[in-house]
Amino acid sequence: MLGIFAVLVGASLATFFGRLLSVGAPDLRGALSLDADSASWITTTYNMGLMFIGPFSVYLGGILGPRRVLLGSACIFASTCVFMPFAGQHLATLFVLLALAGLTGGTFYPLSLSFILRNLPQSYLHLGIVAYAVDIIVTTHVAHSFEGWLIGELSWRWLFWTTAILTPVMIVLVIYGIPPQPLPKPKPGQPSLSWRGFLYASLGAALLYGALDQGQRLDWWRSGIFVSMFVTGMFLIAAGLVRHFSKPNPLVNYPFIRRWNTVLLAMTVIFFRFVLLAAVVLIPSYLGAIQGYRPEETGNVLLWLAVPEFLAGVFAVYLLGRIDARLILAAGFALVAVGCLMDSQITTLWSGSTFDVSQIVLAVGEGLAFNGMVGTIVLDLLNSGGLENAADVLTFGGFFQTIRLFGGEVGASFMQFFLHNRQVFHYDLLAMGIQRGSEPVIQRSQFLSALLRPHATKDVVAGQSADLFLASVQRQAFTLSVMDSFMLLAYAATACLLVVMCLRSLKVGFPQIIAASTAAQSRSKKGLV
């Protein structure tokens, strides 16, 4: 149990630190006196480290075991978080430390789910799933409020030092909760373990991630940096595949992840990461750009949503033991679609409290969808017999870690591209309808001038009223682009329902697992009597 708590703490720390970097990027840029280009690479560097270690963690876990990997990674992760604030004036050093933090923190996530699956009794797996789900989802919503509190009460340095203080808790739990194991030895006649294929695939995935993360800022294919990162990443991934199939590695079982349900479940992970942008990106972006909310104010809008998500997770545990997990998954995505449709009615008059009802629907939907998704993934692994083979479990964990990160980045990059292009479209459309000398334009200009006249001269009033008029058009264009984005997410959630419909039924579900465990315990008690 201590070991399970250890990996849950590790998964939340890796996610939480990434969210703190993302939310606190403007504050870090000001504190470190960075230009916009340099500051944009802070989160990209950390996430590229996470992406790199996703496939490579399969190799590390196979040759060293989870205890050694987690202990070593946690120690390095904590050390880098301690020293990062002191490297603020040396940008190259800061990026190296961020990459190390990503490389080490990225091992926590894939090893956590595989460790839970192999060490928690099957009758309690549904409880482990909800703990894992709450651990990841709730952490995402807490980041805004916590970042605002750190900046307001302490300093920007605590964005790094918070995780440095919490990581030793994980280290102690690993020491006492995960027993030492001998180093795995290859079986006679088994192919030798090779790191080259993992290195090619991991480096290629990291470069692709970085290219997508910076694509909108670099203007995609018009940038030499984007083209070089994308092409090199694709080449390295192809090299990794060629290496594996020419010299198979016993730690990887590709046929295991080519199964029908596994492929469809990977698609649901991508869809979930995409629709999660409603709460993670769209609402904070709208509140910051249109209403001028600070991160701590945005955090107050999102923080309380952890409560309905937690309750939805508990309810999902109850349902997992009684009905098909696919029904829970479908219900969650249906509620997410409804919540996004509610938010698609947004106007420039909406504030934080206006989102309350729709956010409750979204929070409940996300809680059900994530628990149903992870529950279905676990059942797919159990029904395949993969838990009996360490290579299958490691391959499974590494695959879904890669899909989680890469799918999330594809969705975020597409959302940035979509949001920008829809804003330009609506701005051009609105500007075409504004005719100089028309009655509505004259009335609006006179109204703005009347507001400014007591405070400035005639020339200044004319210039400022024109600026305010232009700003109002921009605000409306951005709001319309957010409206379109919510509609897009609603369509995506609906499309995922079609994917869920195509999932094949599984012979053994949680009701059967719990019933079998209860019967076994009953027979054991009768035997003792």
User: Where in the chain are the domains?
Assistant: 1-181, 195-251, 253-412+486-521
SS3 category, 223: coil
* Mean per-residue pLDDT over the chain, rounded: 80
Q: Of 76-85, 231-240, 331-340, 450-459, which gets the smallest average pLDDT?
A: 450-459
Mean pLDDT value across residues 442-465: 53
Residue 164 pLDDT exceeds 50: yes
Question: Would you state the pLDDT for residue 463?
Answer: 47
Q: Of 42-46, 162-166, 511-515, which gets the smallest average pLDDT?
A: 511-515
Q: Are 256 and 395 in contact (CB under 8 A)?
A: yes
Cβ contacts of 28 within 8 Å, gap of 6 or more: 21, 34, 39, 42, 156, 159
Mean pLDDT value across residues 171-198: 74
Mean pLDDT value across residues 87-109: 86
Burial (CB count <10 Å: 0-12, 13-18, 19+), residue 439: exposed
1-181 against 253-412+486-521: fold identical: yes
Query: Which residue has tokens 């980045």?
Result: 409
Residue 354 pLDDT exceeds 50: yes
Mean pLDDT value across residues 144-161: 83
Residue 276 pLDDT exceeds 60: yes
Question: Would you state the pLDDT for residue 460?
Answer: 43
- Scored b (16 or more CB within 10 A) or e, 95-115 reads bebbbbbbbbbbbbbbbbbbb
Residue 495 pLDDT exceeds 50: yes
d(CA 487, CA 355): 15
Structural class in CATH, domain 253-412+486-521: mainly alpha
Residue 450 pLDDT exceeds 60: no
Mean pLDDT value across residues 269-278: 87
Instruction: Give the right CATH number for 1-181 from 1.10.760.10, 1.25.10.10, 1.20.1250.20, 3.10.129.10.
Output: 1.20.1250.20
pLDDT tens-digit readout, 326-344 = 899 999 999 999 999 999 9
Mean pLDDT value across residues 463-471: 59
Q: Are 26 and 293 in contact (CB under 8 A)?
A: no
- Specify which of 115-119, 192-196, 198-202, 267-271 reaches the highest per-range mean pLDDT: 267-271
Q: Are 257 and 395 in contact (CB under 8 A)?
A: yes
d(CA 29, CA 80): 19
| Dihedral sign from CA coordinates of 380, 381, 384, 385 | negative
Question: Would you state the pLDDT for residue 514?
Answer: 65
Question: Would you state the pLDDT for residue 313?
Answer: 79
Which amino acid appears at position 469 of this protein? F
Helix runs in 106-195, H state only: 108-119, 125-153, 158-177
Confidence class for position 443, pLDDT limits 50, 70, 90: low
Which amino acid appears at position 134 of this protein? V
Question: Would you state the pLDDT for residue 279?
Answer: 77
End-to-end CA distance of the chain: 29
d(CA 69, CA 56): 12
Integer-rounded Cα Rg, in Å, for the chain is 25
d(CA 205, CA 223): 19
Confidence class for position 289, pLDDT limits 50, 70, 90: confident
Cβ contacts of 246 within 8 Å, gap of 6 or more: none
Question: Would you state the pLDDT for residue 517?
Answer: 63
Question: Would you state the pLDDT for residue 229?
Answer: 93
Question: Would you state the pLDDT for residue 334?
Answer: 94
d(CA 52, CA 202): 4
- Percent of the chain topping pLDDT 70: 80
Binning the chain into helix, strand and coil, the percentages to the nearest 5 are 85, 0, 15
H or E stretch at 84:
none
Q: Of 113-127, 261-275, 442-456, 512-526, which gets the smallest average pLDDT?
A: 442-456
Q: 3-state SS string over 166-179?
A: HHHHHHHHHHHHCC
466 backbone dihedrals φ, ψ, rounded to 5°? -65, -40
- Specify which of 63-77, 138-152, 372-386, 486-500 reaches the highest per-range mean pLDDT: 486-500
Which amino acid appears at position 225 of this protein? I
Question: Would you state the pLDDT for residue 442?
Answer: 55
Question: Would you state the pLDDT for residue 361?
Answer: 92
Mean pLDDT value across residues 190-203: 75
